[in-house]
Amino acid sequence: MGETKEKTQKKSWFKGLKAEFKKVIWPDKETLAKQTTAVVAASVFLGAVITVIDVILKYGIDLLVK
């Protein structure tokens, strides 16, 4: 008996999931490309900023320790 209830719940869950995916408004290729470019550019920029800060801090700590 419990097995049938589990199968019914799983089917219901997947139906709900499918219905939710139909509600999603997927971006067009142009929007997706622009947003991807923005994310990659921001990631590279922040990586460079963190690297510069790290080098400066390392240099400053080396000066204090020696």
Confidence of residue 6 (pLDDT cuts 50, 70, 90): confident
> Could you give the CA distance from residue 62 to residue 66 in angstroms, rounded to a whole number?
6
Q: What is the pLDDT of residues 13-51, one digit of tens each?
A: 889 899 999 999 999 999 999 999 999 999 999 999 999
**Tokens encoding 62:** 């080396």
Phi, psi of 5 (to 5 degrees): -65, -40
Check if the beta carbon of residue 27 is closer than 8 Å to that of residue 35: yes
Q: What DSSP string describes 22-66?
A: HH--PPPHHHHHHHHHHHHHHHHHHHHHHHHHHHHHHHHHHHHH-
